[in-house]
């Protein structure tokens, strides 16, 4: 055999090969692949006059020197992104039990609708007379979301859950200001998702935290103790981030309303209650929905999302505008609510995410949506029971769409922590669950199986999690999990380094 070695790493000027799909070499950046003068496809001849930027842009706005961009051929560009995509774990590849994120398989017909030229190619500035179909979709989506949440009106503008939260807090502020009241505090439970306190601060309020009782719900007495007329409202998700339904939600709503506060529903966990119970009927005034969790767009990955906000009648005229409306003659147009807080997104929000959600809702119908929630809840409870004995059950109650188990005993007995379990699971073929959240559970593993996984997949996931605990406890082998993942393209990374030593430009990295 020849001793000559072929480099398996793509380098400047390309090298179209499948490594680093194999081994652990990092994929080079486009700058690493760059070679001066390389170009993608370009038209050889054109009879169109050529325009330079100086003919279009005023001189004071022109850059003085060209921006340093990577120069790569189309072939190498496609190779680069294809190699990266092959290194990803995705919802289309396998189970993705990442709690509080609802990463579920989404029917491809929703993508097909969103790719249809008749929708995708429409310019957002086209007049309503040319966009009646689009407007009908948006109005119908709003109506369906109001029906699901038990609310009176909605805005489709916010681009994600956190943007919906900010919208909700601005609505809260405007509502109290209109009543001539200055309130300063918003209450959130200690189990809340991190975006809740961040949005409260961004909305100009102070956070007051309330604790969790022994059943995993809001401590009602602690809540009553911090309620007064300085409280603008409370933000809750129900089921909460422990996957538990707030048993005292009616009492909580009554107590907050009694001091003139509003109830904000973080709808990130709506997958659990679709078609079964409505936030409006629980007493909530403002609801955001994460369309990119529940309704056919995968959450995360940096892609566009949508976090529509639905409100009760008394807040409808404050919503962002313009809103799509159905006119008395059955046609559609745009209207700005009379006391609108203003725009939250350019144009009509992330319209193709909205179209995916509309398609998903039409696909399932009311019965189908209820079934989604029922199976999601059944799956989470099945998995929780399967894991009993291998892991601690954080709050031993019937859960909703996700269950929080803990590796605390496992860590005490074997030294194996939640992070090790998550990393070893990657080697066994599954995406890891959320770890160390919610913060109030030590060594938390937050598992959301969703309704889209089969009983066979769930059994395999349960078996993999059991195996990890057994390897450490009975076989005395904690080193496997501590060294994991050994089979993935990227092995264990330093979790905090990127945040502590942020390098946001390519040049500085050199």
Ligand X SMILES: Cc1ncc(COP(=O)(O)O)c(C=O)c1O
Give the interface with ligand X as residue ranges (CB under 6 A). Answer: 100-101, 160-162, 193, 195, 237, 241, 266, 268-269, 290, 305, 307
Least distance in angstroms from the C-beta of 268 to ligand X = 3
Using CA atoms, how far apart are residues 182 and 12, in angstroms rounded to an integer?
Answer: 61
Whether 224 contacts 248, CB under 8 Å: no
User: In this structure, what token pair is assigned to residue 330?
Assistant: 């059955």
Whether 434 contacts 99, CB under 8 Å: yes
Q: Using the minimum distance from each CB to ligand X, give the nearer residue, 269 or 414.
A: 269
Least distance in angstroms from the C-beta of 238 to ligand X = 10
Q: How far is CA 174 from CA 180, 280, 319, 342, 379, in A?
A: 10, 20, 10, 11, 41
Q: Using the minimum distance from each CB to ligand X, give the nearer residue, 100 or 167.
A: 100
Q: Using the minimum distance from each CB to ligand X, give the nearer residue, 34 or 196.
A: 196
3-state helix, strand, coil in the chain (%, to 5): 40, 10, 50
Q: Using the minimum distance from each CB to ligand X, give the nearer residue, 309 or 410.
A: 309
Using CA atoms, how far apart are residues 416 and 206, in angstroms rounded to an integer?
Answer: 38
Least distance in angstroms from the C-beta of 389 to ligand X = 28
Q: Using the minimum distance from each CB to ligand X, give the nearer residue, 113 or 160.
A: 160
User: In this structure, what token pair is assigned to residue 172?
Assistant: 């809260």
Q: How far is CA 95 from CA 46, 103, 187, 372, 383, in A?
A: 50, 9, 35, 16, 13
Q: Using the minimum distance from each CB to ligand X, give the nearer residue, 156 or 411.
A: 156
Least distance in angstroms from the C-beta of 172 to ligand X = 16
Least distance in angstroms from the C-beta of 388 to ligand X = 25
H and E: helices and strands count for the chain:
18, 13
Query: What would the DSSP string read from start to end of 251-262?
Result: HHHHHHHHTT-E
Q: Using the minimum distance from each CB to ligand X, give the nearer residue, 131 or 241.
A: 241
Nearest residue to ligand X, by Cβ distance, number only: 161
Least distance in angstroms from the C-beta of 158 to ligand X = 9
Least distance in angstroms from the C-beta of 288 to ligand X = 8
473: exposed, middle or buried (Cβ count in 10 Å: 0-12, 13-18, 19+): middle
């Amino acid at each position: 055999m020849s001793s000559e070695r072929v480099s398996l790493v793509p380098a400047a000027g390309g090298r179209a090969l499948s490594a680093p799909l194999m081994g652990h070499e990092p994929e080079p950046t486009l700058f690493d692949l760059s070679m001066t003068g390389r170009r993608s496809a370009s038209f050889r001849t054109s009879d169109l006059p050529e325009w330079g930027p100086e003919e279009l842009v005023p001189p004071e706005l022109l850059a003085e020197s060209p921006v340093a961009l990577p120069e790569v051929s189309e072939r190498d560009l496609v190779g680069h992104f294809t190699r990266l995509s092959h290194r990803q774990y995705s919802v289309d590849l396998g189970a993705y039990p990442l709690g509080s994120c609802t990463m579920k398989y989404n029917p491809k017909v929703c993508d097909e609708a969103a790719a249809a030229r008749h929708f995708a190619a429409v310019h957002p500035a086209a007049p309503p007379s040319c966009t009646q179909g689009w407007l009908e979709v948006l109005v119908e989506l709003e109506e369906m979301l109001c029906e699901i949440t038990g609310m009176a009106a909605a805005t489709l503008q916010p681009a994600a859950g956190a943007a919906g939260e900010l919208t909700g807090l601005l609505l809260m502020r405007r509502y109290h200001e209109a009543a001539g009241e200055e309130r300063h505090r918003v209450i959130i439970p200690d189990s809340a998702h991190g975006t809740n306190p961040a949005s409260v601060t961004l909305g100009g309020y102070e956070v007051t935290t309330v604790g969790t009782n022994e059943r995993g719900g809001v401590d009602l007495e602690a809540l009553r103790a911090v309620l007064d007329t300085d409280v603008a409202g409370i933000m809750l998700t129900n089921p909460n981030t422990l996957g538990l339904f707030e048993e005292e939600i009616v009492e909580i709503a009554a107590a907050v309303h009694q001091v003139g506060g509003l109830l904000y529903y973080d709808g990130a966990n709506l997958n659990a209650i679709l078609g079964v119970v409505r936030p409006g009927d629980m007493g909530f005034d403002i609801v955001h929905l994460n369309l990119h969790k529940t309704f056919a767009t995968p959450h995360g990955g940096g892609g566009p999302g949508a976090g529509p906000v639905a409100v009760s009648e008394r807040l409808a005229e404050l919503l962002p505008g313009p809103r799509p409306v159905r006119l008395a003659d059955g046609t559609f147009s745009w209207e700005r609510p009379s006391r609108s807080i203003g725009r939250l997104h350019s144009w009509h929000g992330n319209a193709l995410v909205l179209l995916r959600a509309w398609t998903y809702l039409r696909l399932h119908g009311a019965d189908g949506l209820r079934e989604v929630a029922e199976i999601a809840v059944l799956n989470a409870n099945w998995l929780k029971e399967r894991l009993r004995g291998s892991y601690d059950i954080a709050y031993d109650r019937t859960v909703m769409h996700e269950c929080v188990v803990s590796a605390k005993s496992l860590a005490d007995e074997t030294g194996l922590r939640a992070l090790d379990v998550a990393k070893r699971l990657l080697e066994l073929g599954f995406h890891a669950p959320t770890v160390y959240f919610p913060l109030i559970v030590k060594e938390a593993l937050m598992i959301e199986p969703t309704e889209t996984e089969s009983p066979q997949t769930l059994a395999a996931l349960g078996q993999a999690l059991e195996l990890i605990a057994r390897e450490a406890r009975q076989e005395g082998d904690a080193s496997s999990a501590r060294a994991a993942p050994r089979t993935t393209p990227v092995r264990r990374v330093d979790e905090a380094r990127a945040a502590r030593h942020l390098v946001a430009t390519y040049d500085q990295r050199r």
